[in-house]
Amino acid sequence: MIFQDILFYFFSTILIASALGVITVRNPVNSALLLVLSFVTCAGLWLLLEAEFLAITLVLVYVGAVMVLFLFVVMMLDINLDRLREGFWKWFPFGAMIALVIVVEISMVLMGKYFGYEEMPLPEPKGADYSNTKELGRLIYTEYVYAFELAAVLLLVAMIAAIALTLRHREDKKSTNPFKQVKVRKEDRIRIVTTMSAEKKE
Amino acid sequence: MENIQQQFVEILGAEWGGMMFSLASNMTFIFAIVVPLLLGVAYLTFAERKIIAYMQIRVGPNRVTFFGIPWLRGWGQPIADAVKAIMKEIIIPTNANKFLFILAPVLTIMPALAAWAVIPFSPELVLADINAGLLYILAMTSMGIYGIIIAGWASNSKYAFIGAMRSAAQVVSYELAMGFALVCVLMMSQSLNLGDIVNGQKGNSLLNWYFIPLFPMFLIYLISGVAETNRAPFDVAEGESEIVAGFHVDYSGMAFTVFFLAEYSNMILVAALTSIMFLGGWLPPIDIAPFTLIPGFIWLLLKIAFILFFFLWFRATFPRYRYDQIMRLGWKIFIPITLVWIVLLGAIMQLPESIRNAFPLNIWF
């Protein structure tokens, strides 16, 4: 048990430090990388909670795909840091409100005994051969299938909308069509002619 | 094993003894994987140079002998290369981000080695026999891209940055096709555990291996694996003729060598995964006497070597793809094929028993 506690505090310290770093570091690339670090440590915490499917999926989806694209964009943009800081006081009340909501939520978790915390007993620790991937799959595709499909359709709509909004057909673009290129045969491109000098040799 | 555990418990007490024993045994296992792997990487570079040389009617490295044994000409080359790399100076460009510049090679090699934790070498021989092994592999290999992106950005050089951008877009695109191909494998085996996937291919002969019913997925996985490791003909991230050396143009000495090690250990990893998912892992090709006597570990190594030969063969044969064609291949050809195949496989798996039995010589369902 003591080893798990050490691991928990190790991951939590890194998580809190890197999460603070995300909002305080000046360079946006560094802050995106710190966000990656906090995702990874968060996955570590979830592993301690025996949620290995969620932990690995967090790394796979957020670290492996979403944050790569984030970094991609952040590195390409020429971000002016002074202009980013201009709006600080304008947005301060909004940010403070969100911070307040989070503080209330966290305190509700910490003071759980006033909110019927005892009625939710701690789940039994499962054996080593218990696969929560299978369990999660069963729940998603049977009980929560409509909610799951709805979320999937929502994501698909968002993706198509993003493509439709940004896709512009340029008239003067000079790209080639690979399907046409692949179909090209020798006869379309070259014509073999017999010249006078070649005839002489024969 | 149990005797050693007993001794640990006797010396260190019940609580610490068990813990220290598992630590020590895991460390031993990790060394037993990583040291041969790095040696394998060294000799894979030698094999690559030799094989490509013979394909191009050259001789390849033939000067450095191995401990002066005359008929092992060239076999000392990888060791000489390693010594050279260690001795060279690591140059850090003046305007580079020093911390990230040093961190990038570390981030590249870390997932390349960590993914080996779940590879089963034989039914018993596996470091971490976890349920979600396949997901772990996918998560680890998807993290390898960070080293490349960070290297490109931290170098503060245009060529390096272009290489990093190319690599990021390419790897993210091919990861999708790769993931979908693996979804087909886990639909067939109904498990995410790599050991169970190999056991699912058990039968009388190699006809039971997944590369036959999932042949298009096998090809897509192999080609995506080549693209994922930034190997020729998909090596636009390095692209010597266009952007010098791509993301590692500013790296020298050991820092460069670490990138090199990561690339080659990723190659061996993809070869190992292909053998496990599609070529039956440790299983012998025919389940009769002379083949079953050879340990499974050897069969896995032979299959890995077979797939690695393809990697080298591709490099010697194909010219480099144009970047837009790489993207077209990934998004417009591989992903649609895999998506159709997943639906098809799902439909076949739901067929009633009577229809399945109606087809003779049925290997699919």
pLDDT tens figures, B131-174: 888 888 888 888 888 888 888 888 888 888 888 888 888 888 88
How many angstroms separate the CA of residue B137 from the nearest CA in chain A? 9
Q: Distance between CA atoms of A133 and A84, rounded to whole angstroms?
A: 42
Q: How far from the centroid of its chain's Cα atoms is residue B203's Cα?
A: 26
Contact B135 A57 (CB under 8 A): yes
How many angstroms separate the CA of residue B328 from the nearest CA in chain A? 8
Q: Distance between CA atoms of B325 and B315, rounded to whole angstroms?
A: 17
Phi and psi at residue B71, to the nearest 5°? -80, 0
Contact B135 A133 (CB under 8 A): yes
| Identity of the residue in A52, A60, A72 whose CB atom sits nearest the CB atom of B168 | A72
At residue B356 the predicted structure's pLDDT band, cuts being 50, 70 and 90, is low
Least confident interval from A51-65, A121-135, B51-65? A121-135
pLDDT, position A88: 73
What would the mean pLDDT of B19-31 be, rounded to a whole number? 84
Whole-Å CA distances, B336 to B198, B216, B329:
27, 12, 10
Q: How far from the centroid of its chain's Cα atoms is residue B84's Cα?
A: 26
Contact B325 A178 (CB under 8 A): yes
Residues A5-14: tens digit of each pLDDT? 888 899 999 9
Mention every residue, 6+ apart, whose C-beta is less than 8 A from residue A120: none
For residue A129, list chain B residues with Cβ-Cβ distance below 8 A.
Answer: 131
| Identity of the residue in A36, A133, A175 whose CB atom sits nearest the CB atom of B132 | A133
* Residue B168 at interface with chain A, using a CB cutoff of 8 Å: yes
How many angstroms separate the CA of residue B79 from the nearest CA in chain A? 34
pLDDT, position A82: 63
pLDDT(A117) > 80: no
Whole-Å CA distances, A170 to A174, A179, A180, B324, B331:
9, 20, 20, 17, 21
Structure tokens at B131: 């349920």
Mean pLDDT of chain B: 84
CB atoms inside a 10 Å sphere around CB B10: 10
B123 phi-psi bin (left φ>0, alpha ψ -120 to 50, beta other): alpha
| Identity of the residue in B132, B138, B165 whose CB atom sits nearest the CB atom of A72 | B165
Cα atoms found within 13 Å of the Cα of residue B203, Cβ hemisphere only = 12
**B310 vs A197, more confident:** B310
pLDDT(B308) > 80: yes
Please, are residues B130 and B149 in contact by the beta-carbon 8 Å criterion?
no
DSSP code per residue over B278-315: HS-TT--SB-SHHHHHS-HHHHHHHHHHHHHHHHHHHH
pLDDT, position B242: 77
* Residue B30 at interface with chain A, using a CB cutoff of 8 Å: no
Q: Distance between CA atoms of B134 and B142, rounded to whole angstroms?
A: 12
Least confident interval from A113-127, A185-199, B164-178, B221-235? A113-127
Q: State in Å, rounded, how far the first CA of chain B is from the last one.
A: 42
Q: Which residue in B has a C-alpha nearest to residue A175's C-alpha?
A: B324
Mention every residue, 6+ apart, whose C-beta is less than 8 A from residue A126: A50, A132
At residue B353 the predicted structure's pLDDT band, cuts being 50, 70 and 90, is confident
Structure tokens at A192: 């073999």
For residue B151, list chain A residues with Cβ-Cβ distance below 8 A.
Answer: none
Whole-Å CA distances, A164 to A85, A150, A160, A161:
32, 21, 6, 5
DSSP β-bridge partners for residue A35: none
For residue B136, list chain A residues with Cβ-Cβ distance below 8 A.
Answer: 56
| Identity of the residue in A53, A60, A68 whose CB atom sits nearest the CB atom of B149 | A68
pLDDT, position A84: 65
pLDDT, position A41: 92
**A173 vs B29, more confident:** B29
| Residue whose token pair is 């390096």 | B160
For residue A36, list chain B residues with Cβ-Cβ distance below 8 A.
Answer: 146
Contact B142 A133 (CB under 8 A): no
For residue B100, list chain A residues with Cβ-Cβ distance below 8 A.
Answer: 33
* Residue B192 at interface with chain A, using a CB cutoff of 8 Å: yes
| Residue whose token pair is 């996955």 | A43
pLDDT(B225) > 70: yes
Residues B33-88: tens digit of each pLDDT? 889 998 899 889 999 999 999 998 888 888 888 777 777 788 888 888 888 888 88
Least confident interval from B116-125, B242-251, B322-331? B242-251
* Residue B362 at interface with chain A, using a CB cutoff of 8 Å: no
For residue B130, list chain A residues with Cβ-Cβ distance below 8 A.
Answer: 52
pLDDT, position B220: 92
Percent of chain B whose pLDDT exceeds 70: 96
Phi and psi at residue B290, to the nearest 5°? -65, -30
At residue A180 the predicted structure's pLDDT band, cuts being 50, 70 and 90, is confident
Please, are residues B225 and B171 in contact by the beta-carbon 8 Å criterion?
no
Contact B131 A71 (CB under 8 A): no
Percent of chain B whose pLDDT exceeds 90: 11
CB atoms inside a 10 Å sphere around CB A21: 16
Highest mean pLDDT: which range of A6-20, A21-35, A162-176, B181-195 = A6-20
Highest mean pLDDT: which range of A140-149, A166-175, B123-132 = A140-149
Mean pLDDT of chain A: 82
Task: Name the amino acid, one letter, at A132.
Answer: N
pLDDT, position A131: 74
Structure tokens at B261: 């090690």
Of the residues A60, A129, A174, the best mutation for testing chain B's interface (the one with the most B CB atoms within 10 Å of its CB) is A60
At residue A200 the predicted structure's pLDDT band, cuts being 50, 70 and 90, is low
pLDDT, position B336: 92
pLDDT, position B206: 75
What would the mean pLDDT of B202-208 be, rounded to a whole number? 76
